[in-house]
């Protein structure tokens, strides 16, 4: 049997932060490669989520690429937390700077990916009818890439304009003078709501669960800070590499009750005024583990919210009923202040659920409100959504969606048994924290595995059952130590019918990095490397 011709050695699916980097790394390593992206531009999450005020809530220079000091030096982020247009410009710059665009095909969505047992290759079909054959398939399809719409009766009957934050059109949406509804108050909703309230005739916010929103504390990066960032490149890289969740924030050194009440108040004030995720990563060491410490912080935040929101009824609805950190906390700019505008109102869906969407608007037990625009800020099928929708079939024609019917099983959040030569860096079980930092390490690992297989003359790479079991057991065992509750979308529970399984990596970066280091040291012994039957036959 002749060895099989492939169109490319490596086919990457997804042109977001992870896919772009993976494409760069495999080309650099001397493989032939191509990238397929469903959007009409690169950026992935940062292409689709282009709603007003969409922005990073990790610091720009910690979320962006760190593999090239030249790139780091030449791109001056304008703000500590960059907005979507700047992020999209950056990713396009990276694509051009590293001459990747000629390998990228836009506007093509994968509908099926089939592994050939005999050939050891993947045949990937896209919705434009094209088939591509690749030795290795890398699904860099993202954690938050499949928008979720709740099954609200009549959703398609609405006569006005509807948008999902995760599928935002490239043409600007004109909210000026319009009656607007926003459903959902997660990270996306709370970024968007103040921007709409500034221009709309009226804005009605439909909230099911109030979140602990704290200030993002964004600001422009000053020229002095720009110079310091450049001077500190190596130490920034080192800190991000070694920190527990991939942030620069310095962890605190004591628990909440080691301080006096006065000291605690002053400390919380500092936290409230600190940037982004430092409220989680630099807060008292026991803030997520000791309910009493958590309560103190929540009480402080209630004081802040109460001081901002004038109307007592609205204020009461905005106070969450869960502990801080049980759900992914959003970061905001002017969010609570928005509810003081006479044109803005808040509907609590726990007391008045949506009954139906009609041609004219949204009906709850309180009656019908009419709208010109409805925005669904209702989140995503997190973690497994995209992988389960790609029509992936592995050895013996087994479907990934069936294999993961009870939740995913992975090694390092990168591979799973039964699906040789398939990698999914940035996938479920990989990260907890600043995603690109984890995904970058996973991409480097995948590239290392591919290079190793080439060196030993193998063309089929499959993770061992034992290695996958070890990693998945670690995830499932330590899921209960995570601060997130099972009602968080990190367990998939926002999507009805989805198995409730932890979809992050509870071991954080230390566990990911130590396991990767051990795997490399052991000569990638967690993988079974072989030659495909077609290749072996041709050697005879």
Instruction: Give 395-400 contacts, CB < 8 A, sequence gap 24+.
Output: 395/115, 395/117, 395/419, 395/420, 396/117, 397/114
- Do the beta carbons of residue 180 and residue 373 sit within 8 Å? yes
Piece of 59-67, 251-259, 314-322, 373-381 that binds ligand NA7 (CB under 6 A):
373-381
- Do the beta carbons of residue 308 and residue 337 sit within 8 Å? yes
Structure tokens at 23: 């494409």
- Residue 379 makes contact with ligand NA7 by CB under 6 A: yes
**DSSP secondary structure of 268-312:** HHHHHTS-TTHHHHSS-TTTTT-HHHHHHHHHHHHHHHHHH---H
- Do the beta carbons of residue 20 and residue 42 sit within 8 Å? yes
Position among 92, 209, 306, 352 found at the interface with ligand NA7 (CB under 6 A): 209
Site mask, ligand NA7, residues 105-144, x = CB under 6 A? ---------------------------------------x
- Residue 507 makes contact with ligand NA7 by CB under 6 A: no
Rounded CA separation 269/297 (Å): 10
Pick between residue 320 and residue 425 the one whose CB is nearest to ligand NA7.
320
Q: What is the DSSP letter of 253?
A: S
Q: Does an H or E element contain 454, and which?
A: helix 435-456
- Residue 524 makes contact with ligand NA7 by CB under 6 A: no
**Which value, in Å, is the radius of gyration of the alpha carbons in the chain?**
24
- Do the beta carbons of residue 21 and residue 67 sit within 8 Å? yes
Q: Does an H or E element contain 538, and which?
A: helix 533-539
Pick between residue 204 and residue 494 the one whose CB is nearest to ligand NA7.
494
Pick between residue 14 and residue 418 the one whose CB is nearest to ligand NA7.
14
- Residue 428 makes contact with ligand NA7 by CB under 6 A: no
- Residue 489 makes contact with ligand NA7 by CB under 6 A: yes
Cβ at position 355, least distance to ligand NA7 in Å: 12
Pick between residue 16 and residue 418 the one whose CB is nearest to ligand NA7.
16
Segment 67-96, which members bind ligand NA7 (CB under 6 A)? none
Cβ at position 82, least distance to ligand NA7 in Å: 14
Cβ at position 240, least distance to ligand NA7 in Å: 18
Position among 252, 328, 369, 395 found at the interface with ligand NA7 (CB under 6 A): 328
Segment 174-193, which members bind ligand NA7 (CB under 6 A)? 183-189
3-state secondary structure 344-386: EEEEECCCCCEEEECCCEEEECCEEEECCEEEECCCECCCCHH
Q: Which residues pair with 79 in a beta bridge?
A: 220
Site mask, ligand NA7, residues 139-168, x = CB under 6 A? -----x-----x--------------x---
Structure tokens at 138: 């890398």
- Residue 494 makes contact with ligand NA7 by CB under 6 A: yes
- Do the beta carbons of residue 332 and residue 216 sit within 8 Å? yes
Cβ at position 276, least distance to ligand NA7 in Å: 12
Q: Who contacts 156 (Cβ-Cβ below 8 Å, separation ≥6)? A: none
- Residue 434 makes contact with ligand NA7 by CB under 6 A: no
Piece of 1-9, 28-36, 107-115, 375-383 that binds ligand NA7 (CB under 6 A):
375-383
**Where along the sequence are the contacts to ligand NA7 (CB under 6 A)?**
144, 150, 165, 183-189, 208-209, 328, 349, 377-380, 489, 494
């Amino acid at each position: 049997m002749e060895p099989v011709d492939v169109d490319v050695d490596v086919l990457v699916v997804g042109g977001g932060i992870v896919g772009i980097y993976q494409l760069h790394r495999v080309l650099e390593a001397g493989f032939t490669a191509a990238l397929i992206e469903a959007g009409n531009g690169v950026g992935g999450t940062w292409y689709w989520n282009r709603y007003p005020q969409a922005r990073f809530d990790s610091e720009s220079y910690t979320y962006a690429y760190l593999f090239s000091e030249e790139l780091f030096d030449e791109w001056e982020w304008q703000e500590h937390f960059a907005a979507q247009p700047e992020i999209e410009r950056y990713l396009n710059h990276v694509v051009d700077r590293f001459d990747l665009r000629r390998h990228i095909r836009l506007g093509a969505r994968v509908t099926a990916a089939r592994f050939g047992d005999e050939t050891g290759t993947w045949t990937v079909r896209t919705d434009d009818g094209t088939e591509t054959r690749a030795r290795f398939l890398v699904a860099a399809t993202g954690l938050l890439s499949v928008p979720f719409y709740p099954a609200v009766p009549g959703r398609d009957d609405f006569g006005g304009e509807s948008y999902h934050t995760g599928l935002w059109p490239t043409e600007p949406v004109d909210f000026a003078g319009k009656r607007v509804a926003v459903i959902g108050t997660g990270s996306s909703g709370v970024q968007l709501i103040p921007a709409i309230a500034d221009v709309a005739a009226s804005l009605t916010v439909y909230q099911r669960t109030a979140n602990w929103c704290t200030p993002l504390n964004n600001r422009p990066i000053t020229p002095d800070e720009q110079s310091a960032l450049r001077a500190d490149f190596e130490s920034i890289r080192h800190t991000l590499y070694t920190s527990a969740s991939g942030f620069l924030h310095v962890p605190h050194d004591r628990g909440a009750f080691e301080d006096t009440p006065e000291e605690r108040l002053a400390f919380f004030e500092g936290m409230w005024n600190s940037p982004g995720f430092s409220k989680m990563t630099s807060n008292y060491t026991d803030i997520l583990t000791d309910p009493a410490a958590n309560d103190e912080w929540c009480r402080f935040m209630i004081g802040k919210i109460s001081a901002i929101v004038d109307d007592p009824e609205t204020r009461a609805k905005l106070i969450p009923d869960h502990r801080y950190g049980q759900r992914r906390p959003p970061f905001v700019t002017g969010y609570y202040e928005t509810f003081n505008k006479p044109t803005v109102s808040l509907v609590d869906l726990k007391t008045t659920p949506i009954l139906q969407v009609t041609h004219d608007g949204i009906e709850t037990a309180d009656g019908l409100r009419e709208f010109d625009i409805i925005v669904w800020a209702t989140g995503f099928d997190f973690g497994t959504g995209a992988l389960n929708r790609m029509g992936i079939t592995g050895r013996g024609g087994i479907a990934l969606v069936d294999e993961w019917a009870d939740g995913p099983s992975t090694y390092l959040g990168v591979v799973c048994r039964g699906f040789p030569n398939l990698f999914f860096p940035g996938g479920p079980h990989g990260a907890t924290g600043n995603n690109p930092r984890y995904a970058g390490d996973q991409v480097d690992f995948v590239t290392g595995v591919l290079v190793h297989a080439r060196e030993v003359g193998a063309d089929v790479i499959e993770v061992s059952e034992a290695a996958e079991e070890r990693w998945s057991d670690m995830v499932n065992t330590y899921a209960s130590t995570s601060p997130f509750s099972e009602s968080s979308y990190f367990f998939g529970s926002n999507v009805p019918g989805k198995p409730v399984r932890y979809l992050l990596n509870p071991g954080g970066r230390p566990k990911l990095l130590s396991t990767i280091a051990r795997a490399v040291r052991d000569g990638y012994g967690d993988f079974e490397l072989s030659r495909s039957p077609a290749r072996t036959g041709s050697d005879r």
